[in-house]
Structure 1
Amino acid sequence: MVDLEQYLPILIFLFIAVALSAAFVFLPMGVSRLTGTHNPDAEKLSEYECGFPAFEEPRSQFDVRFYLVALLFIVFDLEAAFLFPWAVSLQFTGWEGWIGMMVFLTILAIGLAYEWKKGALEWE
């Protein structure tokens, strides 16, 4: 027979976690409704940041360039994230570290040149 009392602390923890999560989600919405700050209008419901309406047919086509720009940002953001620790530790890595980073930067530069040539950076 399995002793179920050992699971009681886990169940208490899960109950508290679910209760707090629900409180953090639903309590602000309820307070907003009760205090009258919930006042949607056309300006509040309009799309922003993404560039296309969010409440349309989910199968509608949209421009892939939004994702291309995001991927380019991630690639070059990661490049910057690798450059700082490399620069700080260059005295310890020596020429091997410098050559390795130059190979990395060369690959990124070739990728940037390719994307530039293909017109991925052009916005119409």
Structure 2
Amino acid sequence: MDFMTAQNRARFFEIWKKAKENLPMEGEEALFAEIMLEHREHHSLFDQGEAAMNIDFAGRRQTNPFLHTSLHVVVEQQLQARQPIEVEQALLSLISRGESRHDAVHQIGGLLAQVLYDAVTRNKAIDEADYLLKLRELVY
């Protein structure tokens, strides 16, 4: 595991510990904690703390809870900033069609994951136009 991944996961475990102990948090840290608490299916992994540090999710059918939570946070931050506005439009459209807010955020996060994956595998910048197009397709 590379240094950045290890640092990132250590931060997750630190936030999880604070959340479980009901310690005060602000800003992005509080947002991560809120989303981690919403996803009960990942609690057992977060409870493992350092023991789960080296789990490799590549090639597994299991969701990577670190990536999943991070995508959730990015979508929530985009919604808070209303940037790009298409994220909010997609969310409202999905909710108006009967999706729960949580499931709508998952759908938007899935689109974001596709765009990020494409950028990484092609070794190119994120294609914002493609992301906006995918978001607009959710609206209509």
TM-score, normalised to structure 1, is 0.24
Highest RCO, 1 vs 2 (Cα 8 Å, sep ≥ 6): 2
The structure with the largest alpha-carbon Rg is 1
